[in-house]
Amino acid sequence: MSATEERQRNDGGHAALMDGVYRWQRHVYDATRKYYLLGRDRMIAGLVVPPGGTVLELGCGTGRNLVLAARRYPDSRLHGLDISAAMLATADATLSRQALRDRVALARADATRFDARALFGEAAFDRIFVSYALSMIPGWELAIDAALDALSPGGSLHVVDFGQQERLPAWFAAALRGWLARFHVSPRSGLLAEIAARAEAAGRPTRFTPLHGGYAWLIVVGPRSGSARPRRD
């Protein structure tokens, strides 16, 4: 984390920055992002939430993913947190419109340091997912730590985000990065290594799937070894 990022994170500047970025964009966010936040639906399909299972999204934004997860896993209990009050206002309105508001708990919190019990009354979740948020979070490694801490022993963590465009032309990767920087988005070169190291320390396996030539990376951290496998009925 750069010194500027660290200062922003500590003085609440990052929350204000995110509110500023999304104050107007949130109104066109879902319509525009579907063309370039690739892999989100595949990640949701891979959650395979057990009946009655608990799910948490870190950096839930407009609630788009929570709506899809709620429909796909009708018995699940969903939770979303985000640092931006503006994004949460949109998520609240979207979930209400879809008659899903009573199934999804929302909270304003920093993904790098949240207390799930205080926010949601839940100590651990069966599934936690992070979709295109780690590339916007200063101190994103801390969010991985926090997610693993909040995961039940038999639970899994699912991450989808920009990859390193490793099989795409260099000019495309450079243009994409320049454009993303305008939105305060930085693809994390250490994303897989940092997640895999932490997962291994926690006795959990990691599965890595690069998508579209490395445009996006899908990373799944599985249940702790020795814990009962999650039910798949």
Ligand X SMILES: C[S@@+](CC[C@H](N)C(=O)[O-])C[C@H]1O[C@@H](n2cnc3c(N)ncnc32)[C@H](O)[C@@H]1O
Q: How far is CA 56 from CA 21, 60, 116, 201, 223, in A?
A: 23, 9, 9, 22, 16
Instruction: Supply the DSSP symbol for 117.
Output: H
> Which position among 67, 83, 157, 199 is part of the footprint of ligand X (CB under 6 A)?
83
| Contact (Cβ atoms closer than 8 angstroms) between residue 202 and residue 129 | no
Which single residue brings its beta carbon nearest to ligand X? 61
Judged by CB under 6 A, the stretch of 53-61, 146-154, 171-179, 224-232 that binds ligand X is: 53-61
Instruction: Supply the DSSP symbol for 103.
Output: G
Q: Of 184, 86, 206, 175, nearest to 135 (Cα)?
A: 184
| Contact (Cβ atoms closer than 8 angstroms) between residue 59 and residue 90 | no
H-run or E-run covering 129 = strand 125-131
Instruction: Supply the DSSP symbol for 54.
Output: E
> Which position among 49, 136, 159, 199 is part of the footprint of ligand X (CB under 6 A)?
136
H-run or E-run covering 97 = helix 85-97
Build a one-symbol-per-residue string for 142-181: x at contacts with ligand X by CB under 6 A, - elsewhere. Answer: ----------------------------------------
- 134 interacts with ligand X by CB under 6 A: no
Judged by CB under 6 A, the stretch of 45-53, 126-134, 165-173, 188-196 that binds ligand X is: 126-134
> Which position among 8, 39, 40, 47 is part of the footprint of ligand X (CB under 6 A)?
40
> Which position among 38, 69, 87, 191 is part of the footprint of ligand X (CB under 6 A)?
87
Q: By CB under 6 A, name the binding residues for ligand X.
A: 14, 18, 33, 37, 40, 59-61, 64-65, 82-84, 87, 110-112, 131-133, 136-137
